[in-house]
Amino acid sequence: MPSAIPTGNERITKFTNCRLVKGDELVEQDLWVSSETGKIVRSQEVFYGKHEVPDNIINLGGRIISPGLIDVQLNGAFGFNFSTIPDDVSSYGKVLKQVNKSLVQTGVTSYLPTLTSSRPEVYHQALPFLGPSGGPRRAEDGAESLGAHCEGPFISPTKNGIHPVEVIVPAVNGFSDLEKMYGASNIYPTVSPIDGALLPPKIRKITAAPEIAKMTQTIPELISRGIIYSMGHTEATYEEASAAVAAGGTMITHLFNAMRPLHHRNPGVFGVLGLAESLPRPYFGVIADGIHLHPTSIKIAFNAHPDGFILVTDAMHLVGLPDGVYEWNNDGERLVKTGPSLTLEGTNKIAGSSITLIECVTNFLNWSGASVPQALKAVTATPAAMLGLGGVKGSLEGDADADLVIIDEEIDESGMKNLRIDQVWKFGNSTHWFVAIEEDIGQPKMKSGELI
Amino acid sequence: MRLIIRDDPVSASSYIANYIIERINNFNPTKEHPFVLGLPTGSSPVSVYKVLVERYKAGDVSFENVVTFNMDEYIGIPREHPQSYHTYMYDHFFSHVNVHPSNIHILNGNAIDPETECVQYEAAIKAAGGIDLFLGGIGPDGHIAFNEPGSSLLSRTRVKTLAYDTILANSRFFGNDLEKVPKMALTVGVQTILEAREVVIIITGAHKSMALKKCVEDGVNHMWTLSSLQLHPHPMIVVDEDATLELQVKTVKYFKSIEAVATSQGFEQILPSKVRTGPRPRAIAKKIGAGPEIQEPGILEPQPVTSTLLTAPANEYPVRSHTPELIPDRMGSRITAH
Ligand SMILES: [Zn+2]
């Protein structure tokens, strides 16, 4: 048999004594990741086929390994609002890089930076920075943008939430209005200057109200460019929502919030979660911060369509900052932060949240009776599937990107569960260790690289 | 033959695991002089592997200088298939211990030329110095590896067509779809196993009790291929109580009494030194001996009977044979026509 020829740059880490989040189950299984490829290693194939053994072994003492968390609705973080263009535009990219490095510490390894309804110049200036950022596959870059999420401005002026009404517009001319608003270079796939490969557009997802102007007819134009259409901030009836799904809409933005409530005569947007009209059921985002939604509403939504259930933070840039009044947008409006609650100054309007994604998972876990893997699926495999990235993100199967969070499950005296993030890994490299974990397994040690 | 009877499958398995560990540790394998271990798949060995892994993690044994040869593998399913024996071995044993992948040998069921693969496998065993201990399990019909009833007791590593019953039984692992069940396998032969310096077999469960009876109380018979073990100089069968269901009471008592006496005399392991340590290179043996060769007191290594009684030269064995090999001719064909 041929012997292994070490190339010297392989760095395979094996996690052992751990439980992997796979589907709705926790599976006791080892996991191998490669810092060289940044992917999860098909360990059995590499072992038999290439005679490779791990370079280091981490005994996780029964901890849970989850795919890295994915937040598909994040408006900003660590004091930086994606929708606020600084006076010095060139600093936008620099600050964004810092935000990515900080964000990964919260366990969010990839996300959709979300722009709230803005004037065209904001999109033209911000979107070039917000496109997919994982190309170089560098762990030190921190959290990775999977593309921007444009929430508005083609939304219903009566379901605007905190989006300023004066920037909300109808797409009367259909797709060309979107092109003008966001900028053609941000809405079309581009060709890589390096290898000529087709790159996805900067925009990954658009939230718009299907009943306004020509939006529903525009949906096929979006999906043909690889952009996901999500309905939200809408007055849509059940019939209008169904038409949007039939046209290719696959997502609902923060279900229940900024839409008509469920009415027994017309179930509105919520109705499309039912198995009706033989349409595919869309995915839907839910904010589990205890303010936006009653826990029972969340439970009902989950049970209506568990495989479509996605937890999002909708967090504003004020996460982690002290209470007070903060500048918000370019229009001079301000936000009041009182603990976890954010309101628009002078109103009672909820202005996003200031919660982290893992806190949303913990809340959902305690409110719903769902299992730990079910709750984690709502921020991993399900958002990945919604984005068309199944098997690449949000997965622990071989060849998926090795973005991981190592989680310890704590239960207090009253039976409340808490998921504590002990480590974060990005592209096969550890980025943060919050808890010291022993680095190798009991005696005798695996002597790697030793050939016979 | 030694027959070790334990109360339940768990203690039978730990007996074997502990025995293997003791053998490896006494052998003191090195890179130049590795311990060569033959390994099975199947349900009974699972708990043997479990104990081996536990003891490895506790630091009681190292597999660093252990070379392994597996018994068999299906033809035509991917190595990564959940039912492949590669997967079985990876999941139950190799991924948990420090056997180096370059020391592992499993027949390649996707080899372009399966017959060459078999010839090379035999050559690899020879090159490794032969197998020190072959661990095996059996099927309810007393077959060892894929040497199903009727297999030649002189068989070597070869391509085997699986018996229809085996294919049917396996279909539950392949979504009950007969189309997906492998119809052929590569397997070591009976002779390959008998040539190991020691053979240890685990048999647990009442459904295998008839096979145990046939192999222990009856004669050598190709319909129960494990019975060929009677021709081996150092066989050991470890069973649980359930597997003795068909044995005569006196057989059970006899083997239990032998074990009791041997234990009381501190004489549990009665392998001659050559078998215990394998064929060490001459230079090393001299160094240890330092003068006239030291004889092991009292135990001379018996020669394998098969090697003298059954002396068909190796090149006469067909590399390929089909199951069923036994095709009794019709009586009518023997009557000459008038
Ligand atoms: Zn919103």
Same domain membership, residue A79 and residue A53? no
Alpha helices in chain B (DSSP H): 9-27, 44-57, 85-92, 114-127, 164-170, 190-194, 209-216, 249-264, 273-277, 282-289, 305-309
Range(s) of the domain holding residue A383: 67-395
Same domain membership, residue A157 and residue A305? yes
Q: Are strands A198-199 and A190-191 parallel, antiparallel or unpaired?
A: antiparallel
Number of domains observed in the structure of chain A: 2
Q: Which residue has the higher pLDDT, B148 or A437?
A: B148
What is the average pLDDT value for chain B, to the nearest integer? 85
- Range from A183-197, A382-396, A421-435, B316-330 carrying the lowest mean pLDDT: B316-330
Helix (H) or strand (E) holding A80: strand A80-81
Percent of chain B scored above 70 by pLDDT?
Answer: 78
Mark yes or no for CB contact A47/B102 under 8 Å.
no
Do the domain assignments include residue A384?
Answer: yes
User: Is A450's pLDDT higher than 50?
Assistant: no
Do the domain assignments include residue A307?
Answer: yes
The pLDDT, as a whole number, for residue A344 is: 86
Any idea what DSSP says for residue A390?
A: B
- Do B253 and B3 form a contact (C-beta atoms < 8 A)? no
Q: Which residues of B touch A49 (CB under 8 A)?
A: 79
Same domain membership, residue A136 and residue A49? no
Same domain membership, residue A425 and residue A341? no
User: Is B287's pLDDT higher than 50?
Assistant: no
Q: Which residues of B touch A1 (CB under 8 A)?
A: 102, 105, 124
Phi, psi at residue B184, to the nearest 5°?
-135, 160
Please indicate if any CB of chain B lies within 8 Å of the CB of A5.
Answer: no
Any idea what DSSP says for residue A110?
A: E
Do the domain assignments include residue A287?
Answer: yes
Do the domain assignments include residue A444?
Answer: no
Q: Which of B59, B106, B124 lies nearest to residue A444, judging by beta carbons?
A: B59
pLDDT digits (tens, 9 = 90+) for B77-98: 999 999 999 999 999 999 999 9
Same domain membership, residue A41 and residue A176? no
Judge residue A366's burial from the number of C-beta atoms within 10 Å of its C-beta, 0-12 exposed, 13-18 middle, 19 or more buried: middle
Arithmetic mean of pLDDT, B32-55: 95
- Note the ipTM here: 0.80
Mark yes or no for CB contact B105/A442 under 8 Å.
no
What is the average pLDDT value for chain A, to the nearest integer? 89
Arithmetic mean of pLDDT, B177-201: 94
Arithmetic mean of pLDDT, A40-63: 94
Which pLDDT band, with edges at 50, 70 and 90, does A232 fall under? very high
Do the domain assignments include residue A2?
Answer: no
Mark yes or no for CB contact A45/B79 under 8 Å.
yes
How far is residue A424's CA from residue A432's CA, in Å, rounded to a whole number?
5
Which pLDDT band, with edges at 50, 70 and 90, does A206 fall under? very high
Same domain membership, residue A156 and residue A33? no
Q: Which residues of B touch A445 (CB under 8 A)?
A: 98
The pLDDT, as a whole number, for residue B294 is: 47
Q: Which residues of A touch B56 (CB under 8 A)?
A: 444
Q: Which of B31, B64, B86 lies nearest to residue A48, judging by beta carbons?
A: B86
User: Is B131's pLDDT higher than 90?
Assistant: yes
Q: Which residues of A touch B101 (CB under 8 A)?
A: 4, 47-48, 51-53
Do the domain assignments include residue A415?
Answer: yes
- Do A201 and A188 form a contact (C-beta atoms < 8 A)? yes
Residue of B nearest to A14 (CA): B95
- Note the maximum CA span of chain B: 77
Mark yes or no for CB contact A47/B101 under 8 Å.
yes
- Do A219 and A246 form a contact (C-beta atoms < 8 A)? no
Which pLDDT band, with edges at 50, 70 and 90, does B268 fall under? low
Choose, from B117, B132, B148, B195, the residue flagged as catalytic: B148
User: Is B295's pLDDT higher than 80?
Assistant: no
Do the domain assignments include residue A447?
Answer: no
Same domain membership, residue A421 and residue A295? no
Per DSSP, the three-state class of B332 is: helix
The pLDDT, as a whole number, for residue B30 is: 95
How far is residue B152's CA from residue A168's CA, in Å, rounded to a whole number?
84
Choose, from A314, A401, A403, A408, the residue flagged as catalytic: A314
User: Is A90's pLDDT higher than 60?
Assistant: yes
CATH number of the domain enclosing A303? 3.20.20.140
CATH number of the domain enclosing A46? 2.30.40.10
Distance (angstroms) between ligand 1 centre and the Cα of A210 equals: 15
Q: Which of B31, B59, B64 lies nearest to residue A442, judging by beta carbons?
A: B59
Q: Which of A47, A441, A445 lies nearest to residue B90, judging by beta carbons?
A: A47
* Angle, CA of A219, A223 and A228, to the nearest 5°: 90
To the nearest whole Å, the CA of A387 is away from the closest chain B CA by 28
Percent of chain A scored above 70 by pLDDT?
Answer: 92
The pLDDT, as a whole number, for residue B288 is: 46
- Domains of chain B (ranges; CATH) run 2-275 (3.40.50.1360)
Q: Which residues of A touch B57 (CB under 8 A)?
A: 441-442
How far is residue A226's CA from residue A280's CA, in Å, rounded to a whole number?
18
Distance (angstroms) between ligand 1 centre and the Cα of A126 equals: 18
Respond yes or no: is residue B91 known to be catalytic: no
Please indicate if any CB of chain B lies within 8 Å of the CB of A192.
Answer: no
The pLDDT, as a whole number, for residue A443 is: 35
Which residue out of B98, B106, B117 would a mutagenesis test of the A interface target, given it has the greatest number of A Cβ atoms within 10 Å? B98
Cβ contacts below 8 Å, chain A against chain B, sum to 61
The pLDDT, as a whole number, for residue A337 is: 84
Token pair, residue A320, equals: 């982690």
Respond yes or no: is residue B72 known to be catalytic: yes
User: Is A448's pLDDT higher than 70?
Assistant: no
Percent of chain B scored above 90 by pLDDT?
Answer: 65
Same domain membership, residue A415 and residue A318? no
User: Is B283's pLDDT higher than 90?
Assistant: no
User: Is B291's pLDDT higher than 80?
Assistant: no
Distance (angstroms) between ligand 1 centre and the Cα of A101 equals: 25
Same domain membership, residue A265 and residue A231? yes
Token pair, residue A178, equals: 């979107």
Per-residue HEC secondary structure of B33-57 comes to CCEEEEECCCCHHHHHHHHHHHHHH
User: Is A431's pLDDT higher than 60?
Assistant: yes
Q: Which residue has the higher pLDDT, B250 or B266?
A: B250
- Range from A4-8, A303-307, B24-28, B149-153 carrying the lowest mean pLDDT: A4-8
Q: Which residue has the higher pLDDT, B243 or A273?
A: B243
- Do B185 and B109 form a contact (C-beta atoms < 8 A)? yes
User: Is A449's pLDDT higher than 70?
Assistant: no
Distance (angstroms) between ligand 1 centre and the Cα of A161 equals: 7
Arithmetic mean of pLDDT, A358-376: 95
Same domain membership, residue A87 and residue A19? no
Of the residues A377, A395, A413, which one is the last residue of a structural domain?
Answer: A395
Distance (angstroms) between ligand 1 centre and the Cα of B160 equals: 65
User: Is A296's pLDDT higher than 60?
Assistant: yes
Q: Which of B62, B79, B94 lies nearest to residue A444, judging by beta carbons?
A: B62
Same domain membership, residue A129 and residue A18? no
Do the domain assignments include residue A36?
Answer: yes
pLDDT digits (tens, 9 = 90+) for A175-185: 999 999 999 99
How far is residue A84's CA from residue A328's CA, in Å, rounded to a whole number?
8
The pLDDT, as a whole number, for residue B224 is: 94
DSSP states of A336-374 as a string?
EEETTEEEETTS--EEEE---HHHHHHHHHHHH---HHH
Same domain membership, residue A57 and residue A162? no
